[in-house]
Structure 1
Amino acid sequence: MNLDRPVAPSPYDLLPPVGAFTVTSADIADGEPIAKTHIFTGAGGENLSPQLSWSGFPAETRGFTVTCYDPDAPTGCGFWHWLLVNLPASVTELAQGAGSAPEQVAAGAFSVRNDFGNPRYDGSAPPAGDRPHRYIFAVHALDVETLDVGPDASAAYVGFNLTFHTLARATLTATYQNLG
């Protein structure tokens, strides 16, 4: 494993600037290692999405999308762990484990396939011995109630739609290193 490779930028640094608001969690802290509770089952964890809550988003917000992305995955294009779309503007908190049953979060909300191929949250599972990976949990405040995507949409297609409908974004970045 080449640990001297450059650190990938946050994908949001490469997009048009948008406003910011705040996302917090009772389960993860910005810049800190993620607990085994939120690690993929195949990597020895419980595979539960962390609790998230957000505030300070623009008054004109009509909906939300929540994502989790690892820019450090050795793929050339990062790795999407979670894409929960079409949350109503009235939803400002997700309980721990909400990523396992997105249809129970709110009427009309659903997860598209992550890079594991599953329509849910799947936690951290970097290669053993690789340097720490960053897991960017992002809440996107949207100017539409729903994105024009279906359950079979790819992560890239959701990201494309988010670029044109995001009013503001809140991020919380946790880390994880698989020491083998």
Structure 2
Amino acid sequence: MGNFTLKSVFGNNETIPKKYTCDGDDLSPPLSWEGRPEGTVSYVLIVDDPDAPAGTFTHWVLYNIPGDLNSLPEGVPQGKEVKYGYQGRNDFGAYGYGGPCPPRGKPHRYFFKLYALDTKLDLPPGAKRVDVERAMKGHVIGEAQLIGLYGRG
């Protein structure tokens, strides 16, 4: 098995460009990955901010991404069911991506976590993150991570 890696237009531990945040167009950034683990049937993508004042804030839950995909384009639309899989509810209350929007002060870290699974999840579109994580248990065969930073002065 090769190295399973996740990339975007920003490098690991680099600043997320404004267009992918609430201060810009709030588009999801383009993502690509390499080193697909053998036996991958689907992927799950979870984006969260562990530095949020009230505890970890979920920005995106995308699951049942087809196992033969190796990228997501910029600007995946909102909605429970999209071309790239099913989207769960984020902590803004929407289905899909919600960009970084931290309070003023120290930059926050945004973890883009891509999980390779040996199955498709038996969940309807619009599932909660907790249910996605529960359904993933015992099926994760690889994990790739990218950390982006964003702060508002």
Shared fold, TM over 0.5: yes
| 3-state SS of paired residue (2:61) | strand
Q: How does 1:61-140 map to 2 (within 5 A)?
A: 61-76=40-55, 78-100=56-78, 103-106=81-84, 109-129=85-105, 131-140=106-115
- Structure 1 runs of 4+ with >6 Å offset: none
Q: Structure 1 residues 163-172 or 151-160, which shifts more?
A: 151-160
- Structure 1 residue corresponding to 2:7, chosen from 1, 24, 39: 24
Bigger Rg, structure 1 or 2: 1
2:21 — aligned with what? 39
Structure 2 unaligned residues grouped into runs of 5+: none
Shift of residue 138 of structure 1?
A: 1.3
Higher helix fraction: Structure 1 or Structure 2?
1
Q: Structure 1 residues 156-165 or 95-104, which shifts more?
A: 95-104
2:131 counterpart of 1:148: no
Question: Does the CA-based 8 Å contact 1:64-1:86 persist in structure 2?
Answer: yes
Normalization by structure 1: what TM-score? 0.78
Q: Deviations over 1:95-117 (max 9, x none)?
A: 111254674433xx110101111
2:148 — aligned with what? 174
Question: Does the CA-based 8 Å contact 1:84-1:102 persist in structure 2?
Answer: no
Q: Structure 1 residues 156-165 or 114-123, which shifts more?
A: 156-165
Structure 1 unaligned residues grouped into runs of 5+: 1-18
| Equivalent residue pairs, number | 152
Higher strand fraction: Structure 1 or Structure 2?
2
Shift of residue 45 of structure 1?
A: 1.6
Percent identity reads: 39
